[in-house]
Amino acid sequence: MNYSFEEVRLSLPHIELSAHVFGPEDGKPVIALHGWLDNAMSFARLAPKLNGLRIIALDFAGHGHSDHRPAGAHYQLWDYAYDVLLVAEQFGWQRFSLLGHSMGAIVSVLLAGAMPERIERLALIDGLIPFTGEAEAAPAKLGSALREQLALAGKRKPVYEKVEQAVKARMKGVGGVSLEAAQLLAQRGLMPVPGGYTWRTDSRLTLPSPLRFTQAHTEVFVRSVACPACLVVAEGGMLHAQPQVVSSLEGTPIKVERLAGGHHLHLDDEAGAQAVADCFNRFFAAP
């Protein structure tokens, strides 16, 4: 499986990120954001099928070939949003669109709601809002997160003797993926270590969130999105099991498209990638 892209390294003031670049230099500016524990290869099938776009597919901090955050720093959604803004600044993009999958879609909605003057369009794949939590659960949630943080130093990443073993493990991971999708993610996500291979991702990414938005918070962010937006809901994905989330979009500019496939439908196979591309090509071509 060979996919054509340009590899770039982006030096932000506080961290270096890696990215894949697709499309013509004069294309509409788009920053593509992958899901939790994935990497830029998430868009390897989809990005080449999107017409007239200049796509910067990031490895989020702590993922893929991007740097890990320094000791004492964390991976909160708003930290990713800040990184995205700095990437846009590097390319001189005052207005740009976002293409987000899963966690990347969530970051996209938060950024579009917080800074509507910067975001042109939102193309979202099976992701919309973060898991929520109400105020009464906050002390216990923070306590659990702090205990997990203290215990992290004693934990070690799994080591796989062969790449194929890691690929099989990824197929069964969060938002289970096809064999080819797992191979693509592993291609960028693994690194050699004594005894075999392990994942490049920062172990801190597996820590639970210390604090969650309330339902009211997320509703306000969604309703603050002012730009045209298209959300692809996978019939076998995560949002399909949360109909109340999708139904909350009534009265917002977010248009919903339902497609067959799993949570990674844009990566699992060529047919799924083409179906998503057909939706988004219509969306980006619309006035």
Question: Which residues, 6+ apart, have CB-to-CB distance to 50 below 8 Å?
Answer: 22, 23, 30, 99, 277, 280, 281, 284
CB atoms within 10 A of CB 166: 23
Instruction: Output the pLDDT for position 287.
Output: 87
Confidence of residue 263 (pLDDT cuts 50, 70, 90): very high
In a domain, 107, yes or no: yes
In a domain, 159, yes or no: no
For the full predicted model, state whether its pTM sits above 0.75: yes
In a domain, 218, yes or no: yes
H or E, element range at 208: none
In a domain, 208, yes or no: no
Residues of the domain holding 128: 6-133+214-285
Active-site residue, selected from the candidate residues 18, 42, 66, 102: 102
Q: Decide if 102 is catalytic.
A: yes
pLDDT, one tens digit per residue, over 96-120 is 999 999 999 999 999 999 999 999 9
Residue 131 clears pLDDT 60, i.e. is over it: yes
What is the C-alpha to C-alpha distance for residues 43 and 33, in angstroms, rounded to an integer? 9
| CATH at 28 | 3.40.50.1820
How many independent structural domains does the chain possess? 1
What is the C-alpha to C-alpha distance for residues 214 and 207, in angstroms, rounded to an integer? 19
72: left (phi over 0), alpha (psi -120 to 50) or beta: left
In a domain, 163, yes or no: no
Instruction: Output the pLDDT for position 269.
Output: 97
H or E, element range at 231: strand 229-236
Token match 């306590």: residue?
143
Instruction: Output the pLDDT for position 3.
Output: 63
What angle is formed at CA 248 by the lines to CA 242 and CA 253, rounded to 5 degrees? Answer: 125
In a domain, 270, yes or no: yes
In a domain, 160, yes or no: no
H or E, element range at 43: none
In a domain, 151, yes or no: no
- Greater confidence, 242 or 36? 36
**Token reading at 84:** 């995205």
pLDDT, one tens digit per residue, over 155-195 is 899 999 999 999 999 999 777 899 999 999 999 999 999 99
pLDDT, one tens digit per residue, over 53-111 is 999 999 999 999 999 999 999 999 999 999 999 999 999 999 999 999 999 999 999 99
Strand partners, 86: none
